Amino acid sequence: MNNNLAPTYQRLFGSYWVLWYETSNSYSVVDDDFKHLLYDYLECVSFDAFKSKIARVDSSLDADTIAKNLQSYLEQCNAEHGSDELLSTDFIVSKRKISKQYVFKDKAFQVNFDSDLIKKTIHPSIAHLETENNVSPSVIFDIYIESDQLCLFKNEVLVRIVPKQNYHFIQGKFAMELLSFIHDNEESDWLGTFHGSTISDGENSILFVGASGKGKSTLCALLTAKGFELVADDVSPMLAADSHIYHNPSAISIKKGAFSLLRPLVNGFDELPDTVFNKTKGVIKYLPCKTPNKNHYPCRAIIMVNYTKDSDTTLELRSIKEALETLIPESWLSPDPLHAKSFLDWLSKTPLYQLTYSDTESVTEEITKCFNRFKNH
């Protein structure tokens, strides 16, 4: 068989195997039976040899269909994803209609937009970093639409171009470029940026993940009001060198449904500006948080968040399958094989939970108890 299609790494997590394919930088979670069947297939010298092996095990099985399904699975797992490398467009300086300057600690940067609508994709989450002082930015970003394509430039060099409706890809790429700038790293230094929010107790951190609307940002806002530190909201970057999650200075995005919950807990909540970018998300407020005491923290757990009205607060262990199905689809993970191995190493020692909650006090107590498990880790 074509062993070039075999997974680069395989790692057992309980009753599931996580397989990583270098060609596509993709992760697949399979059960033990499928994994052994897959390797039986890969180790056979031909389709006929595999069919004969299957027939010896159970003559009632349709060996031909099994072989075709396994080959199709391998081809899908090895399918390379497209990239922007072959795309190019010239920088258009006349698109600089709106300019904003920002400072984070000693890092100054500028972002230029071609319209108020495009400004709303980036500015509201970093508006608290805006400065009115005349600064000399170390890096200048430009974001604009040209021929229905949304373009992101860094120092007048194109770094991402996507159809304008896929603006979230530009948001993600901008976050990566900004985080690399403020932490003095290159994109190749990061293990990944997770679509999730990270909270710290000043010693360790926990990564909260979940689909949009499940309450992870609201939970982080609640926890910061109770004295925890916000490390990152929505985009949580992990450095390959230490597998720590680093501070992302973006504000927490709060949807209108959580306003009444947070209003009594957050001073000046109603003074925060309302932002409306599209009708599906509705009104959003961005809640800035103070900078954490440390620049980065080890991440000791992944918690899948599920806000359910009038529910009891429960924190239950979950399988790697559920966690990766939640974590991976909207996260960026490094294609570097050494980084992929580090990611699997980190996962292997990181407990995975599901949190169901509705009550503010009890969820704070539950997260506090969770952090206490990792004291002096």
Structure tokens at 59: 């003559």
| Contact residues for 177 (Cβ-Cβ < 8 A; gap 6+) | 141, 152, 154, 159, 187
Pick the CATH number of 190-372 from 3.90.1580, 3.40.640, 3.40.50, 2.60.120: 3.40.50
pTM of the model: 0.92
At residue 354 the predicted structure's pLDDT band, cuts being 50, 70 and 90, is: very high
Is the pLDDT score of 90 beyond 80?
yes
Which is higher by pLDDT, 1 or 109? 109
At residue 1 the predicted structure's pLDDT band, cuts being 50, 70 and 90, is: low
Edge-to-edge strands of the sheet including 26-31? 9-13, 16-21, 26-31
Q: What is the per-residue pLDDT for 39?
A: 94
At residue 86 the predicted structure's pLDDT band, cuts being 50, 70 and 90, is: low
* Mean per-residue pLDDT, 122-145: 95
How, if at all, do strands 296-307 and 205-209 pair? parallel
Q: Look at residues 18, 30, 14 and name the one whose alpha carbon lies nearest to residue 317.
A: 14
Q: What is the per-residue pLDDT for 87?
A: 58
Listed range (325-329, 360-364, 370-374) with the worst mean pLDDT: 325-329
Q: What is the per-residue pLDDT for 83?
A: 57
CA distance 234 to 332: 12
SS3 290: coil
Q: What digits encode the pLDDT tens for the residues 177-221?
A: 999 999 999 999 999 999 999 999 999 999 999 887 788 999 999
Q: What is the per-residue pLDDT for 48?
A: 86
Query: For residue 296, what are the β-bridge partners?
Result: 246
Calculate the average pLDDT of the chain.
92
Edge-to-edge strands of the sheet including 157-163? 98-104, 107-113, 139-146, 149-154, 157-163
* Mean per-residue pLDDT, 91-105: 97
The residue to which tokens 């430009």 are assigned: 142
* Mean per-residue pLDDT, 347-373: 94
Q: What share of the chain in percent tops pLDDT 70?
A: 97
Buried b (16+ CB within 10 A) or exposed e, 50-88: bbeebeeeeeeeebeebbeebbebbeebbeeeeeeeeee
Q: What digits encode the pLDDT tens for the residues 298-334?
A: 999 999 999 888 899 999 999 999 888 888 888 999 9
How far is C-alpha 29 from the chain's CA centre?
A: 18
Q: What is the per-residue pLDDT for 89?
A: 85
Burial degree of 309 (CB within 10 A; 0-12, 13-18, 19+): exposed
Please say whether the beta carbons of 249 and 104 come within 8 A.
yes
CA distance 133 to 58: 76
- Where are the domains positioned within the chain? 3-77, 93-182, 190-372
At residue 257 the predicted structure's pLDDT band, cuts being 50, 70 and 90, is: confident
